[in-house]
Homo-oligomer: A and B are copies of this chain.
Amino acid sequence: MSVYTTVTEDELTLWLKQYSLGTLTELRGIASGIENTNYFVTTTYGTFVLTLFEKLTAAELPYFLNLMAHLSRHGIPCPSPVAKQDNGFLAELKGKPACIVSCLKGKSLEAPTPAHCAQLGAMLADIHLAGKTFPLAMENPRGPRWWKATAPEVLPRLPEDQAALLQEELRHQSLYRFQDLPRGVIHADLFRDNALFDGDTLSGVIDFYYACNDVWLYDVAIVVNDWCIRAEGRLDTERTQALLRAYHGVRPLTAIERGAWPVMLRAAALRFWLSRLYDFHFPRPGELTHAKDPGHFQSILQRHTACQADLQGLWV
């Protein structure tokens, strides 16, 4: 359930007067999403998505809203924030930061084929390239600095084997710095549920609220760990190669990225294992239902650690 804050048609009609969006014709809550309140808003000019931010603050939002506007400007099919008459994207509704964005068609896929993975790989590369001229910057809030701060909180709660795996991975990652890998804007959370397909055509990428500036290859690794994974935690050769080849066709991968690939896949698995461990062991009130299984990324990390040579073999 993702309508935490209720908005009535009368409230919205009044609120919409600060926009140039025509007249409200329909308002409908959206059931998906776990961190914000979302509504479909239909006006005489079309259908849009209204988001009320339940956690993100007005200070954190300009990076995300301006990034979506920037990528839309470059033709990337992503939600495009609508400006108010004062030209700003950020508004306030019911005491919460709020915005309206364009509505994309399509729905997410659970079992993507190599052809779907190729489309996603190409679009991810286009997002990276289009982001080159984005003027704002944000450090990755779930990067190595966060790993180091969070691991000590989680470690005392872990069984011995998990604690050993986590400590060994943190040690392994600390040997690498990646200062010389190409970097820029990354989505950082482009799981299958954040991509929409209209039939078999990738029609949009959504949910940029984890976007930040980091190593591009790390973003590729996050995507591959979700889109190309088999049930047992191993990467699917065909999907992985389709995704990497398509990405490479738009933004050619370099020799140094080839060398960093296995470590990067492990880093991407570590990041989500650690955040899920934290959410599992330190649940926030009222959010228990959303805690995702940390075991999924633990398996992926173990598999990647055991089969590092295999990972290199999947390179394009």
**Cβ-defined contact, B74 with A83, below 8 A:** yes
Within 250-297 of A, Cβ neighbours of B (below 8 Å) are at none
Asked whether any CB of chain B lies closer than 8 Å to the CB of A20, the reply is yes
**Cβ-defined contact, B44 with A77, below 8 A:** no
Give Cα A86 to B74, complex, Å: 10
**Cβ-defined contact, A85 with B44, below 8 A:** no
Which B residue's beta carbon lies closest to that of A204?
A: B45
Asked whether any CB of chain B lies closer than 8 Å to the CB of A311, the reply is no
Give Cα A239 to B84, complex, Å: 30
Interface string of A32-70 (1 = CB under 8 A from B): 000000000000111010000000000000000000010
Which B residue's beta carbon lies closest to that of A17?
A: B250
Asked whether any CB of chain B lies closer than 8 Å to the CB of A130, the reply is yes
Give Cα A133 to B132, complex, Å: 27
**Cβ-defined contact, B133 with A85, below 8 A:** yes
**Which residues of B sit under 8 angstroms from A73, Cβ to Cβ?**
69, 80, 82-83, 87
Interface residues of A (CB under 8 A from B): 19-23, 44-46, 48, 69, 72-77, 80, 82-87, 100, 119, 122-123, 126-127, 129-130, 132-133, 201-202
Which 9 pairs across A and B sit closest by C-beta, in order of nearness? A20-B126, A87-B133, A20-B130, A75-B82, A21-B75, A73-B83, A20-B74, A74-B83, A20-B129
